[in-house]
């Protein structure tokens, strides 16, 4: 039976109540991790420290790694990965809720196919309570389907991802890239010929807020995605026609559309 790590990053701007919900969902997994790495990305308020202290007693395999200052998602995830003892690592976000069978089903998928580097899953998007599901994000399942979709948008949902550490580190691991460090990683794994899979069943409830919609728009995010597409074009993952399509569609949705319309488009597309 494969031993595996679970990893999570928390920072000062996270909501303590959401963070507690996420940790609680890890305690309720049908297959518990052999170790749990929590990276504290810079100073956090006392209310978050209280949650960390509470769950340090509940999760016996929990190890806390602290960064002296806030470094961002890319560095925090890279730190989490390097701190993991086992080659299979399930990542969880500090504001989402994991379905109780998530870890079991993703690790079983790795056990059934040793060639896999990444196993993702579909997700529910919810507001306030998991009883209030706004929409379901269904992801492509096979390696071929994932690599095809990767050419126009990110086909792996980061809050629902499990990875093989050795394969991810062989391409440089998570690196800082504004709101797209995961997409950049999948592209490098694609170029290295690594194998992907997604579980069609939704295994994570992703919290949706107005602030998230705001971050997923504007010039800064558009420029970040433009550079992602330039990387894809330079490395011949896409051709010039696809590059132009990607750029135009991103400009309309991320720069021209207001948050409410952007959220509607995301719901329809998913």
Residue by residue, DSSP assigns 123-159 as EEEEESEEEEEEEEEPPP-SHHHHHHHTTTS--S-GG
Residue (of 4, 14, 7) closest to 76 by Cα position: 7
Pairing between β-strand 35-41 and β-strand 116-127 as defined by DSSP bridges: unpaired
Q: How many CB atoms lie within 10 A of CB 233?
A: 17
CA distance 201 to 205: 12
Residue 165, H or E segment: helix 165-170
Over 60: is that where the pLDDT of 45 sits? Answer: yes
Which pLDDT belongs to residue 153? Answer: 95
Over 80: is that where the pLDDT of 213 sits? Answer: no
Q: What is the pLDDT of residues 65-119, one digit of tens each?
A: 999 999 999 999 999 999 999 999 999 999 999 999 999 999 999 999 999 999 9
Place of tokens 């929409």: 135
Q: What is the pLDDT of residues 177-201, one digit of tens each?
A: 999 999 999 999 999 999 999 999 9
Contact 89, 98 (CB under 8 A): no
Over 90: is that where the pLDDT of 253 sits? Answer: no
Share of the chain above pLDDT 70, in %: 93
What value does the mean pLDDT of the chain take? 94
More confident residue, 12 or 208: 12
Which pLDDT belongs to residue 255? Answer: 85
Which pLDDT belongs to residue 264? Answer: 57
Q: What is the pLDDT of residues 138-173, one digit of tens each?
A: 999 999 999 999 999 999 999 999 999 999 999 999
Predicted confidence band at 217 (pLDDT cuts at 50, 70, 90)?
confident
Which pLDDT belongs to residue 209? Answer: 75
Over 80: is that where the pLDDT of 15 sits? Answer: yes
CA distance 41 to 176: 14
For the chain, list the domains and their CATH numbers: 4-208 (3.90.550.10), 210-270 (no CATH)
């Amino acid at each position: 039976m494969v031993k595996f790590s679970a990893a999570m990053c928390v920072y000062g701007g996270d909501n303590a109540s959401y963070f507690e919900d996420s940790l609680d969902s890890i305690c309720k997994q049908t297959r518990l991790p052999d170790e749990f790495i929590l990276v504290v990305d810079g100073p956090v308020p006392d209310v978050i420290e209280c949650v960390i202290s509470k769950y340090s007693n509940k999760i016996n395999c929990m190890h806390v790694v602290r960064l002296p200052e806030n470094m961002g998602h890319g560095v925090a995830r890279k730190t989490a990965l390097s701190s993991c003892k086992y080659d299979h690592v399930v990542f969880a976000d500090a504001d989402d809720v994991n379905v109780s069978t998530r870890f079991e089903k993703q690790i079983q998928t790795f056990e059934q196919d040793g060639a896999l580097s990444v196993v993702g899953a579909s997700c529910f998007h919810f507001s306030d309570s998991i009883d209030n599901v706004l929409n379901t994000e269904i992801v492509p399942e096979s390696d071929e389907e994932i690599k095809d979709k990767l050419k126009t948008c990110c086909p792996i949902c980061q809050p629902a991802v499990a990875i093989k550490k050795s394969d991810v580190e062989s391409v440089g691991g998570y690196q800082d890239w504004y709101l797209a460090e995961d997409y950049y990683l999948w592209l490098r794994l694609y170029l290295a010929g690594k194998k992907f899979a997604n579980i069609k069943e939704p295994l994570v409830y992703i919290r949706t807020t107005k602030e998230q919609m705001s971050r997923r728009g504007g010039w800064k995010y558009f420029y970040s995605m433009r550079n992602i597409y330039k990387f894809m074009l330079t490395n011949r993952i896409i051709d010039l026609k696809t590059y132009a399509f990607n750029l135009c569609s991103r400009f309309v949705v991320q720069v021209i559309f207001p948050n409410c319309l952007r959220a509607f488009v995301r719901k329809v597309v998913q």
